[in-house]
Amino acid sequence: MIELIPAIDIINGQCVRLTKGDYDQKTVYRDAPAEVAKEFEALGFKRLHVVDLDGAKSKHIVNDGVLKAITSETHLQVDFGGGIKTDEDLEKAFASGAAMVTVGSIAVTNPDLFMGWLEKYGAERMILGADVRHGKISINGWKEDSSEDLLPFLKKYIDAGVKNVLCTEISKDGTLAGPAIELYQQVMDAYPQLHLIASGGVSSQEDIVALNKAGIPAVVFGKAIYEGKINLKALWDWQNA
């Protein structure tokens, strides 16, 4: 059964969502992310994906205080990403209670540093972020496209021990247009041992059912929750039926 991971994206300490990663297309949904996290936990969810969008933009962690509030006020297993560029950033994320971190840009711009983190902290605590636009890996809060193609990029790190990959199809993210199931299937066909977390475009429970049917191990979803497109209790009941 697919693992369900709700998402909280943070700007200025608020719970927001962007469309296609565009900071000019921002919607603020809630003022207190920790309260949102508590609501997810009350429904039975165990995992939470938290993105520091201020951090992604400024290239260093900004909202570690919000992360600490979430991890100290809930028992959720939080994976945290956005702005992790240095050893100090990584240590700050873990010190603030993150169980896992999602790192993308550094894996492109400084592979040796990422490999060092993988060796030091272990594959269970590291999620490789693979944000894709037009088949290429995008970095720095989706502001730049690299020359890296998705599958060879993943292979390099899977061979080095990576087990968890969060793959976001940027053109789908925040659009409620449905997930890029074909893309995720390509990844799973190439690397069936991978714990792939699909992200971007989820608009309904039916989308999640389709991802599950396609054999995708996990899914992150956010906007569909905040826009009322998904009934979380019904989704939880479906997963646990």
Residue 9 annotated as catalytic:
yes
DSSP 3-state assignment of 125?
A: coil
- Token pair, residue 230, equals 């998904």
- DSSP H helices, the chain, are 33-43, 53-58, 64-73, 87-95, 105-109, 111-121, 150-159, 181-190, 205-213, 223-226, 232-239
**Cβ atoms of 60 and 89 closer than 8 Å:** yes
Is 164:126 a contact under the CB 8 Å cutoff? Answer: yes
Residue tagged active-site, from 9, 52, 79, 173: 9
Please say if 131 is a catalytic residue.
Answer: yes
Residue given tokens 């925040």 in the structure block: 174
Q: Which of 52, 79, 131, 207 is catalytic?
A: 131
Catalytic residues: 9, 131
